[in-house]
Amino acid sequence: MPEGHTIHRIAKDHSPLLVGRPVAVSSPQGRFAADAALVDGVVLDRIEPYGKHLFYWWANGLVGHVHLGLFGKFRVAAGPQVPAVQGMVRMRMSSDGGTVDLAGPTDCSIGSADDRDAIIGRLGPDPLRRDAKPADALARLRKSAQPIGALLLDQKVLAGVGNVYRAEALFVNGINPARPGKACTDEELSAVWDTVVTMLRKGVKDNRIITIDRKRFPVPKGQARRGDTTYVYHRDVCLLCDTPVRTVELGGRACYYCPTCQPR
């Protein structure tokens, strides 16, 4: 499942192609046809990312919602020429700027601003947004007896963090993922938030996940293997101390950590 930086990058990359233009919206697959008809030919005002969700604000007042989930993917073709459909496309958006095809999302729907607000209301603050309120996330972390490694994956606590960033942010701050949130100090929790913000922002800029200190460790150019750009995630040994990396299942996912660098 894409982490929050990917969603913000999608909004950034797709906006010049679609926003401010009339957009032909269709559903080659057919499953989105009724909703597509509600906004077909309408001007798209903006694309709003929040955590792992995308919201499409249309000039007629309707708001689209996309959640990629595990299998959702976009295919983009710039320019006015509309390409042939490839595979099972749930939603196609075409303008004179380009065509964006969406396949395999967990959710793709058209609703109202109230529907959008209801989704946002179930989520914690998004560290990448200017209107984020870190105090809300820190308060939830501070009072919970759950392991912090599970809390960081809980989108109700903070939105957009996935398996890679939670492992790497905890590693950078020397926190064992099994430690309860309420056993962490205010300074530690604030540092985790700040680390997540920094990592996500770099992810948006680079369009890839790189959590290691680039001044100390070379970063492979182009497509990197898992573990080449992280301290512990998907690595056999810790990048800093060569201790064998361990995993613990938290939040339904394996969380990577170093027992030497994150002893408690």
Domains of the chain, by residue range, sit at 4-121, 134-257
Predicted confidence (pLDDT) per residue in 138-171, tens digit: 999 999 999 999 999 999 999 999 999 999 999 9
Predicted confidence (pLDDT) per residue in 166-177, tens digit: 999 999 999 999
Domain 134-257 has CATH 1.10.8.50: yes
Distance of CA 134 to the CA centre of its chain: 17
Active site includes 3? yes
Active site includes 220? no
**Catalytic site residue from 31, 202, 246, 253:** 253
Q: Which residues contact 227 (CB under 8 A, 6 or more apart)?
A: 233, 234, 235, 236
| Tokens linked to 120 | 């946002």
Q: Which amino acid is at 18?
A: L
- 182-220: burial string, b at 16+ Cβ within 10 Å, e else: ebbeeebbbbbbebbeebbeebbeeeebbbbeeeeeeee
**What's the CATH fold of domain 4-121?**
N-terminal domain of MutM-like DNA repair proteins (3.20.190)
How far, in Å, CA of 148 to CA of 133, rounded?
A: 19
Predicted confidence (pLDDT) per residue in 8-51, tens digit: 999 999 999 999 999 999 999 999 999 999 999 999 999 999 99
**Catalytic site residue from 9, 52, 90, 92:** 52
Active site includes 2? yes
Whole-structure pTM value:
0.95
- Chain-wide mean pLDDT for the chain? 96
How far, in Å, CA of 129 to CA of 126, rounded?
A: 6
Active site includes 253? yes
